[in-house]
A = this chain, B = another copy of it.
Amino acid sequence: MPNADAPTDEAFNAATRRVLERTNRLAACTDHDTGLSRPFCSPAMDDAHRLLSGWMTVGGMDVRVDAAGNLIGRRGADSAQRALLIGSHLDTVVNAGRYDGTLGVLLGLAVGELCEQAGLALPFSLDVIGFSEEEGIRYQTPYIGSRAITGDFRSGDPLLERLDNDGVRMADALAAFGCDHRELSSAAYGADEVVAFVEPHIEQGPVLEQRALPLGVVRGVVGQTRAYFRFSGQTGHAGTVPMDARLDPMPVAARFVAAVEDTARSRAGTLATVGRLEVFPNVANVIPEEVGVRLDLRHADDAQRESAFVDIHRAAMAIAAERGIECRLEWVEQQPATRCDPALAETLSECVAAEGINPLTMTSGAGHDAVVMASRFPSALLFLRCGGGISHHPDESVTAEDIGVSLRVLWRFVASLAGREPSAKATAADPV
């Protein structure tokens, strides 16, 4: 029951060009002379808001910045009781790429514009959200923006007292940005006010590129175990202690690191990484006294992750005990897996398939605003292929073709949620 024709190929192509141009203009909104760095509530963020507000206003949206610094452009009648939310975050890491987060906001904006041009009447308002904070850089805590939208970050939260590296309280940073933290609770959407949230985001990994697919539909975000294993032995001179008299924690930690990899490789879907080692005293001709191993373990299935951790923990203890080395599990942090809304993922997959693309469903190994949003609203996460899987780096890249395909899929998705199928005109411009 379409109430409007789908946009033409020409309209999609023009929208794609606009997204790319805007990406580049937003990449110039940075606090650093060299490289892109746009923290929460920064002058660079203010610049980005100015640009986006302008584009939103011209496109007929009502624009506001909520009490958590989220920029929200609304398309649709004031009478609508419910909204479809689409967007991602506008903050960046230091020396960032230009697509991470930002692209999701610009795709949302472009889809809104396509609706406007096509004269598509929606039974809900369309809210394009640029979340104020997701990376956890300025205040060492992520998801500030989305947690305000879900009502999880409220007035009076102790986090507001946290200081950044320059000693600025979060409450004061918000105030300087024109936001009143006493009104934080007003940023929250009620569960009954939201039709769905959809976040387009670059994959930040190599899977889509390896499968030669432009898009992937995320089923869920992995759960994570972070743990610190400390192996302690007895230090000594590298020249004076015979091999059989040593209590050297280094080869023990090394065998443990190998066991971590073996465990992950033998269990499908398990990701295990040792990215950090702490060796004491870390001197070439001294047998170490202690080697600390930081484990990062992820799996989409919490039970699988927990079972892999049991194996890894057991391996650590066994390898250490065999050689008289003390092994202590110093700390563990666990974060359960999150599921995206299955019905929304199904709808999104249908839209991908309708563009002639194999609808790959996948798991996200990294956290996103959609994880937080999924705790309160039906949420979907659409991954876009990025070059070489590279992210958090100036070399981050996305092709114009892939942006075009995502616009078509997102249009179908919005139209589908609006209770109608896109018209037959919407053929794939670039099926992959």
Contact = CB atoms under 8 A, between A and B. Distances in A.
Interface stretch (A124-132, A239-247, A406-414, A422-430): A239-247
A364 B261 CA distance: 38
A233 to B, nearest CB: 12
B251 A261 contact: yes
Contacts of A207: 240, 242, 245
Contact of A250 (B206, B274, B283): B274
Nearest to A367: B239
A314 interface: no
B265 A258 contact: no
A38 B266 CA distance: 55
Given A236-B205, A273-B287, A285-B273, A243 B264 contact: yes
B287 A238 contact: no
Contacts of A285: 226, 273, 275, 296
A279 B278 CA distance: 9
A256 B253 CA distance: 12
Nearest to A261: B251
A298 interface: yes
A59 interface: no
Contacts of A366: 237, 239-240
A408 to B, nearest CB: 25
Number of copies of this protein chain within its complex = 2
A59 B135 CA distance: 75
Nearest to A282: B276
B245 A210 contact: yes
A254 interface: yes
Contacts of A206: 236, 240-242, 245
A92 interface: no
A180 B204 CA distance: 66
A351 B331 CA distance: 57
A389 interface: yes
A239 to B, nearest CB: 3
Contact of A241 (B205, B239, B242, B294): B205
Interface string A205-229: 1110010000000000010101000
B238 A265 contact: no
Contacts of A241: 205-206, 271, 365, 389
A281 to B, nearest CB: 8
A255 interface: yes
Contacts of A288: 275
A165 to B, nearest CB: 17
B251 A364 contact: no
A150 interface: no
Nearest to A207: B242
A248 interface: yes
Residue of A226, A251, A283, A298 contacting most chain B CB atoms (<10 Å):
A251
A332 B71 CA distance: 57
A392 interface: yes
Contacts of A367: 239
A282 B275 CA distance: 6
A277 interface: yes
Contacts of A170: none
A286 interface: yes
A210 B224 CA distance: 46
A90 interface: no
23 contacts: A206-B240, A206-B241, A206-B242, A224-B239, A238-B273, A238-B365, A239-B366, A240-B364, A240-B365, A241-B389, A242-B271, A243-B261, A248-B261, A250-B275, A251-B258, A251-B261, A254-B274, A273-B287, A275-B282, A276-B282, A277-B282, A284-B294, A284-B296
